[in-house]
Every structure is written in structure tokens, then in C-alpha cells.
Structure 1
Amino acid sequence: MTEAPQAGGLSDRLVDGLLDLISEGALGPGDSLPTVRELAQRFSVTTPTIREALRRLQTTDAVRMRHGSGIYVGEGIHRKLMPNPNSTPLKDEHIIQLVEARLTIEPGIAALAAANRTVDDLERLARAVDTAKRAADDNRPKLNFHRELAAASGNQVLFEVVDSLLAARSREQRALRAQIENHTRDYDQHVAIFLAVEAGDAEQARLLTEQHLRDLRTTITTNLGGHE
């Protein structure tokens, strides 16, 4: 089969076509797609060409190719934003900028969480608060408080902003956590934010989150030799 080059790039068009196939079929994570051979026939291309387009989608978890099983829609199909997993480590000034970004974004997220939280959101937030008190050898799943707070906002884009920062910058986030000297205060602040969200007090949730992140910024700027 001969594939003539076309404007826009064949691979780009195949990726768009595969995404349209998923959308038009109302397919979600875990749903199966046709075989590589069937897809190649559908788009009138060779199997290596369709595999290349599938591999592009696989890098963002839009699809998952399981050897001997098939092709499935991935969890990343609904993401609006994607973190860069291959970025280089941040310099000190960029770590401070990371905290500044969170200080700008997360107080508003907390206010939305207080307005939009569900029973399930509150349960996960409570478990995230509890995570900080667990022993190091506790193997139960650990939930991140700020990620769960963003999920409770009900805004998928805001959740993905926070999730991307936490996922793509996990090295820097661990470094930030390591510099927190007053873990009791950190825990108490999380509890206070949770209680404000639980009570549906958006303004209190916003103020408490802002103070929590201001304290983190003070700690980081001091330890890194920056200026408040």
C-alpha cells in the first residue's frame, strides 16, 4: 500500500482521526479500539504507519497498547493539560516561583472546593489529611492534600494544573516538603482548611490556604537564601 504525502502531515491526520473515532464512539478509559490491522484498513494506511500514530497517543496515555491483548482508551484521554515528565531540575529561583504560582492559584481553588465539594471529595480530603500522620511503613495508598483539594473544586482544568505541578515536579515537591520544619503547624493548617471546606465556608478556605502557602514561601525563601 502506497501512502502519498499530504499537507498537514499524515501522522498528524491519523492522530486526529483516531481521536475522532474515540469521540464519535463515545469511548472512555478502558474501552477497546479496533485492531491495528482494522485501523490500518479504516484509514487506508499500512500497519506500521497506524502503529506510529498509536505510539504518539500512547505517550500522553490517550491510548494504551497491550501486547497480546489489544488497544484501549487510556486515562489521559480527557486531560486538557499535560505535564512535561522530562524537564530538567529547577534552580532555586524557579522553586520559589513554583511556590508563588501555587500561592496565586490554590486559594481560589480552596474557595471553589468549599462551594462544590461532594461527600466523596470530603472523604478523600479527610484521608489526605490522615496521610500526614501515618507511620513511614504504612503501606496504605497516600493521598496528596493539595491534589484532593483541587479535585474537590469541580474544575477539571484547575485540577490538572495542580496535578501537573505535583506530578511533573515531584522532585522539587519532595524537596519543599523536606524543608518544612514545623510539621505540626503544617498538619494543623491542613485540618483547618479541610474544616472550612467541609463547612462550605469559601472565604475562610481561601484565607487559610493563602496563609498556609505564605508560610511555605517564607520557609523556602529563607532556606534558599531568597528575600521575602
Structure 2
Amino acid sequence: MAELARSSLSDALTERMLELIRSEGLRPGDRLPSARALAERFAVATPTIREALRRLQATGTIEMRHGSGVYVSQTLDRVVLPNPHLPPLPGAQLLQLLDARLLVEPYLAGLAASRPDPTHRARLTEALAAAERHIHGDDSALHRATMAFHRAVAAASGNTVLHEIVDSLLTVRASEQREILRIFDDRDRDHEEHRAVLAAIEAGAADRARTLMHRHLLDVRTVVAGRLNVTDEEER
């Protein structure tokens, strides 16, 4: 019963701290009162407050910075949160990862082309320029720029939920995405296909942007499947 009571108190405190963040209009990067000040405010022991803070940290609502304090996290308003504690995907599931992206990203590319947002289009251009600078150089820098382009397309769509799904896939499965690019092993082709998608988005050609993104990801999937020699049975 004591354990249940502590759990219920932590739940209640978690909700009250969320209400505090909302009622005071705190935004990502803003600092919260100290654990001691929060304990006094809510008339509970400091260890109880720390437990509630750990719960909020686990959901990505706050960041606890050693020696600095407690801050509202950049993920405060996210609907979808990535899980960083996942095992690596085997070869067949690399293709399933690409299948998931094939379902979502072409649609988002079409939406991006339908929304003439200068800020998002500038980010697309910037990501592609960064990729071009590293196309025959540093693998890690090229990977970051390539993923930044796909994230920017998703962000430009205006659909925040699907953008977060794509961002989560690319964040949690960063090592698998890097492996996919290594297996595909055609930097110039990959970059040219990205340029074609960007041109369609900039032209406001939604159908073409959707088609080109689908063709691009399918192209990558076909090459990766062939080089991995994954059978249909293994994919299932």
C-alpha cells in the first residue's frame, strides 16, 4: 500500500508540474525552479519531487542538467517520441525500415510542394548544399546532411505528427540509415535524386514531388535488397 501511495503521489506531482509548465507559459529551454523550491511549492519531500522529475525526464518533457538545473525539453510538444533503447535491425528489417519510409515520405514530399513556405524551403536548400559539400568527403558529415534533407522535407509538409514519425525513425535508426547508404554506395545518384525532389517541391509540383520521392526510396530499397540477397521469406 505504501508503494502504491508513493506511486499515486508521483503521478499527481507529475501532472501538477506539467500544469505548472503550461500555466506559466514555459517553453523549450526555459528553466524550472529547483527541486527544493518545487518541494516547498507542492509541500512534499525533495526525494519525491526528484522521482516525479525523473518521470518527466523519461518522457522527454524536461532535461536535468548536472550542476545547472532543470529545463523544459525541446521535445515538450512532440506527439511521437523516439525510443533510444532498441537493438540493431538485421538485414531483412533494413528493408522494412525503407518500406515504412516509402509509405510516409512520398506523401510528405507532395504536401511540402503544396506549401510555399520560404523558411522550410531554405532549410531544404541548405541541407542539400551541405550534402554536396561532403559528397566525396566525410561519410558522417554526408550522412548527417542527407538525413537533414529528409527531415526538412517532412517538416516542410506541415504535418507535425508524420514529421515526428520520420524524425524518430531517422534518429533511433541512425546506424541502420548509415548502413543503408553504405550498401547503396552511389553518392552522386543519391544526391541527384534529392535535387530532383527539391526542384519539384520548389516548383510546387506536388504529384511530381511525390512520385520522385517514391522512386528515390524504391531505388534505394531495390539496390539494398539485391546486395543483401534477402529472400522474400526472410522479408516476411
Counterpart Cα distance in 2 of 1:63 and 1:153: 27
Deviations 1:2-39, CA, capped at 9 Å, x for gaps: x8954962222222221121112221012222221221
- The match for 2:16 is 17
- The match for 2:113 is 114
8 Å contact from structure 2 (residues 183, 224) kept in 1: yes
Aligned pairs (5 A) from 1:68-83? 68-83=67-82
8 Å contact from structure 1 (residues 117, 154) kept in 2: no
Q: How far off its partner does 1:204 sit?
A: 0.6
Aligned pairs (5 A) from 1:78-227? 78-135=77-134, 136=137, 142-143=144-145, 144-227=148-231
8 Å contact from structure 1 (residues 57, 63) kept in 2: yes
Deviations 1:53-73, CA, capped at 9 Å, x for gaps: 112222343212234433221
Counterpart Cα distance in 1 of 2:194 and 2:83: 28
Indicate the RMSD between aligned Cα atoms, in angstroms.
2.4
Q: What is the total number of aligned residue pairs between the two structures?
A: 226
Structure 2: unaligned runs, 5 residues or longer = none
Please give the TM-score of this superposition, normalised by the length of structure 1.
Answer: 0.90
- The match for 1:33 is 32
Structure 1: unaligned runs, 5 residues or longer = none
Please give the TM-score of this superposition, normalised by the length of structure 2.
Answer: 0.87
Q: How far off its partner does 1:110 sit?
A: 0.3
One-letter amino acid of the structure 2 residue matched with residue 172 of structure 1: E
Distance 1:183 1:68, change over 3 A: closer
Deviations 1:83-115, CA, capped at 9 Å, x for gaps: 111100111221111000000111101011111
Q: How far off its partner does 1:199 sit?
A: 1.1
Distance 1:4 1:58, change over 3 A: closer
Counterpart Cα distance in 2 of 1:224 and 1:200: 37
Q: How far off its partner does 1:168 sit?
A: 0.3
8 Å contact from structure 1 (residues 117, 153) kept in 2: no
Counterpart Cα distance in 2 of 1:196 and 1:162: 20
8 Å contact from structure 1 (residues 150, 158) kept in 2: yes
Counterpart Cα distance in 2 of 1:8 and 1:178: 47
% same residue:
46
Q: Which moved more, 1:190-199 or 1:57-66?
A: 57-66
- The match for 1:51 is 50
One-letter amino acid of the structure 1 residue matched with residue 212 of structure 2: L
Distance 1:68 1:61, change over 3 A: same
Counterpart Cα distance in 2 of 1:210 and 1:190: 11
Counterpart Cα distance in 2 of 1:43 and 1:7: 15
Please identify which structure carries the higher helix content. Answer: 2
Counterpart Cα distance in 1 of 2:86 and 2:160: 23
SS of 2:27 mapped into structure 1: coil
Counterpart Cα distance in 2 of 1:17 and 1:227: 53
Distance 1:227 1:207, change over 3 A: farther
Q: Which moved more, 1:56-65 or 1:181-190?
A: 56-65
